[in-house]
Amino acid sequence: MSVRVFRKTGSAVLVVLIAASVLFPLAWMAIAGFKGRSEVLRTPFQFFPEMWRWNNYSAILRDHQFMRAMAVTFIGALIFTVLSLAVNSMAAYAFARLDFRGKRFWWVYCVMPMFIPMMAILLTSFVVVSKLGMLNTMAVLIIPGVASAAQMFFLRQYYLGYPVAVEEAALIDGASRWQIFLRVFLPQSAAPFVVVGLASYLAYWNAYVWPILTITDPSLTQIMQFLGNFRSDRGNDWGMLMAGSTLASIPTIVLLLVFQRFIVNGVRISGIK
């Protein structure tokens, strides 16, 4: 009995300790946003501010550049997510279920990009998009990353495991492959779509290198570009930068909390383990 109680409190203490140390940097970031300019970095150290000030948060919320970057990135991320779900799931269905000439070749072609390091194509991708006249447009942020080998592969694995019987019945009833895809497969795809869609959303929202290469127009500045260049653009206003970073992490954290069950199980769907 006493051993069990001891164990239970032990693991409870451990849970709290682990959670606290993992979350410490994020909490610290959010709290630093409430500190005054002279208070942010100072010895002796204080965890909480002497006075909770809202001026960093209100200043960044009134900052046009910041709000614009948040809005532009959010819209871009939504379009990006929808497009990549459409493109990748369609190809995934074709590779999982259809039989066609040259299938093996196109399969290798579509999966190979998983093994190409980003750097090997980053520089010439830049040359390609600038020749296509795509620099400083939303299109350059959205279109090049839409087709994703890894996501297509993930969806295909999922579709392979989907029972064939339903599909055969629909085929005998005379449904076309498109109808089967749209009416049978898509409605069943919620779980993998959440996992893959979230990955797309995060990839877009968190992108930094591609935007700093292709976007110089301030009205299209992406949120991570804004934060990453904050110190060189505006100096070491740490309080405001931490407030901005906190606000910019909220959308992704909220998404994680809303879809937590899908994500935690996503590992199982993927069949990596």
Provide the residue count of the chain: 273
Q: Applying CB under 8 A, does 71 fall inside the site for another protein? A: no
Q: Binding another protein by CB under 8 A: which of 58, 216, 219, 260?
A: 260
Determine contact, residues 152/223, Cβ cutoff 8 Å: no
CB of 41 vs another protein, minimal distance in Å: 4
Task: Give Cα 89 to chain centroid, integer Å.
Answer: 17
Of the pair 103, 235, the CB lying nearest another protein is at 103
Choose one: 51-59, 60-68, 145-153, 184-192; the region binding another protein (CB under 8 A). 145-153
The verdict on 73 binding another protein (CB under 8 A) reads no
Site for another protein in 9-28 (CB under 8 A): 11, 14-15, 18-19, 22-23, 25-26, 28
Which residue, 20, 50, 59, is CA-closest to 238? 59
Nearest to another protein of 61, 203 (CB atom):
203
**According to CB under 8 A, which one of 1, 5, 51, 257 is a site residue for another protein?**
257
Nearest approach, Cβ of residue 45 and another protein (Å): 4
How big is the site for another protein, counted in residues (CB under 8 A)?
95
Closest CA to 211 of 203, 221, 196: 221
Among 75, 82, 123, 160, binds another protein (CB under 8 A): 123
Tell me the CA distances in angstroms from 81 to 59, 119, 143, 155, one per residue in order: 31, 23, 11, 14
CA Rg value for the chain: 24
Q: Which residues contact 204 (CB under 8 A, 6 or more apart)?
A: 73, 76, 77, 80, 81, 141, 142, 145
Query: Is residue 135 within the footprint of another protein (CB under 8 A)?
Result: no
Residues 151-190 within binding reach of another protein (CB under 8 A): 152, 164, 168, 171-179, 181
- Cα 238 vs. chain centroid, distance in angstroms? 25
